[in-house]
Amino acid sequence: MITDTIAAIATGMTSAGIGIIRISGADAFAIADKIFTSYSGDKVCEFKTHTIHLGNIMKDGHPLDEVLLSVMRGPHSYTGEDVVEINAHGGMYLCNAILETVFDAGAVPAEPGEFTKRAFLNGKMDLTQAEAVMDLISSKNEYAVKNSMEHLSGRLRNKINDLRERILYETAYIESALDDPEHFDLTDYPEELDVKVNAMLDEIERMIELSKSGRIRKDGIRTAIIGKPNAGKSSILNMLSGKETAIVTDIPGTTRDSIEESVRLGELQLNLTDTAGIREADDEVERIGVERALKISADADLILFVVDSSIALDDNDKKIMDIIKGKNVVVLFNKTDLDTVVSPDDILRILGNVPLVEFSKNDDESDKRLEEVLKEVFINKDTALNDESVMTNSRQLRELKMAQQSLMNVLRSIENFMTEDFFSIDLTDAYKHLGFIIGEEIDDDLADMIFSRFCMGK
């Protein structure tokens, strides 16, 4: 049972025009009455719900700040409890002074994420919606905001609930048939269950596939810039980031370690890593850099392969192309402002039909051409991401895969002519893992871990 009335600063811990102190719990109105004097003369406990009132926060009989105080009566509030929000002037000293006054009046400090945790425990939202709140706060692009709002609307919860209801129906049917075989015929049931489970697995597989593209769109594209020494990788990093992030010289092998930078190209976020030029290196430090470059490219969502068009392809270029063939590659045909001795066909004959963008540090349109190509690769082809609520949370995805495995076990039991009670065991397991996604089945330790990642005051 939640008995304490909690309080915290709900806005950023910095000086700003407005700072909000949030109070939630059974004693929220009584605590506010101890410290707030309204210009109307009315008491907070008498205010109508969802109203705002002008007055002063008082400390030791003197006004501390002129504020607007909002009142939201439970259960029609964010937490489902009585909530008061004090909109004060946003100086950090002032906000902390008001918060201390609230504590002196009987509130206790809120834990990170405790307001949202109470909303979850009071049935105001399920776990996917609660986690969407954190995703919304940490959103880095338009897609992340849109997908978080889809989750907040309950679309993901509805998908999971639909799967659980279908599983529960089959489990109940099996249990009823085992208890009352005279009225429930299981003769053709395994074949019928096979069709239904396969349909559910198709839906789960689609959710898993969409989650891969959704994660890229939400968190950014892990992008490795690779090429042989002096191909122009560091210049491209600097050009895309708009600052001198990497050292650029005519000396081959200048970049020996990976350099990371996050940049925006339209709707896309690229988490760029400039890597050491790939070649046979005698220097131990450079050799380590080359090995690191190869590992980064192996783990990347996207490889930007930089080719110096003013120098003939050599063994280093061919080695790189052998390594990246079949991966998600965009060729940056660099230094096109110089006399070119390499043809795009020379590259595409080896790599196949991959996107190729002509690039030059003297061409202001280079980054726009790259943006259009990446938009086609990561946005236009995944139109489903624009219309569906996509699972991008790793915890949720892990439980979905566990449910998928349990349903696959049902199919194996059907293939092996096992008895129906074996079906019921794995169906129940799938039901449980889907329940973990929305928080229908969750223990206290997991809830504490999830909400501890929230910011204070949310």
DSSP conformation letters of 294-362: HHHHHH-SEEEEEEETTS---HHHHHHHHHHTTS-EEEEEE-TTS-----HHHHHHHH-S--EEE--TT
Q: How far apart are CA 158 and CA 142, in angstroms?
A: 23
* Ranges for all domains in the chain classified under CATH 3.30.1360.120: 6-125
Instruction: Please say whether the beta carbons of 234 and 246 come within 8 A.
Output: yes
pLDDT band for 51, please (50, 70, 90 cuts): very high
> Looking at the predicted structure, is the pLDDT value of residue 435 above 70?
yes
| Two tokens, residue 277 | 């030029």
Average pLDDT (271-283) is 67
Tell me the mean pLDDT in the region 400-419: 94
Q: Start-end ranges of CATH 1.20.120.430 in the chain?
A: 133-214+391-452
Name the band, by pLDDT with cuts 50, 70 and 90, for residue 384.
low
Task: Note the CATH architecture for domain 6-125.
Answer: 2-Layer Sandwich (3.30)
Q: Is 26's pLDDT higher than 50?
A: yes
- More confident: 60 or 420: 60
What is the gyration radius of the CA atoms in the chain, in angstroms? 29
Q: Which CATH superfamily is domain 133-214+391-452 in?
A: tRNA modification GTPase MnmE domain 2 (1.20.120.430)
Give pLDDT, residue 229. Answer: 79
Residue 311 or 194, more confident:
194
Indicate the SS3 state at residue 203: helix
| pLDDT confidence of residue 250 | 47
**DSSP assignment, residue 387?**
T
Question: Beta-carbon neighbour count of residue 18 at 10 Å?
Answer: 12
Lowest mean pLDDT among 91-105, 160-174, 249-263, 343-357: 249-263
The residue with greater pLDDT, 48 or 275, is 48
pLDDT at 249: 43
pLDDT band at 274 (very low <50, low <70, confident <90, very high): confident
- Does residue 186 register a pLDDT over 80? no
Residue 191, CA distances (Å) to 167, 186, 304, 383, 413 in order: 16, 10, 49, 35, 12
pLDDT at 19 over 70: yes
| Residue 238 vs residue 201, higher pLDDT | 201
Q: Say if residue 251's pLDDT is above 50.
A: no
Segment 213-242 mean pLDDT? 78
Residue limits of CATH 3.40.50.300 in the chain: 220-370
Look up residue 26 and give its two tokens.
């059974």
Average per-residue pLDDT for the chain: 84
CATH topology of domain 220-370: Rossmann fold (3.40.50)
pLDDT tens digits, residue range 127-175?
888 888 888 887 777 777 777 888 888 888 999 999 999 999 999 988 8
Mean pLDDT, residues 22-42: 96
- Over range 107-136, report the average pLDDT: 90
Alpha helices in 18-126 (DSSP H): 28-35, 92-104, 114-121
Q: Which residue has the higher pLDDT, 193 or 215?
A: 193
DSSP designation for 191: H
> Is the pLDDT assigned to residue 195 strictly greater than 60?
yes
Residue 290 has pLDDT above 70, yes or no: no
pLDDT reported for residue 387 = 59
State the average pLDDT over residues 325-337.
84
CA pair distance 2, 256, nearest whole angstrom:
55
Is residue 226 within 8 A of residue 276, CB to CB? The reply is no
Q: Which residue has the higher pLDDT, 189 or 287?
A: 189
CB-neighbour burial class of residue 315 (10 A; exposed 0-12, middle 13-18, buried 19+) = exposed
The amino acid present at 181, given as its one-letter code, is: P
Residue range 34-51: mean pLDDT, rounded: 96
Q: Looking at the predicted structure, is the pLDDT value of residue 380 above 70?
A: no
**Residue 51 burial by Cβ neighbours in a 10 Å radius (0-12, 13-18, 19+):** exposed
Q: Where are the alpha helices (DSSP H) in 60-106?
A: 92-104
Q: For residue 247, count other CB atoms closer than 10 A to its CB.
A: 11
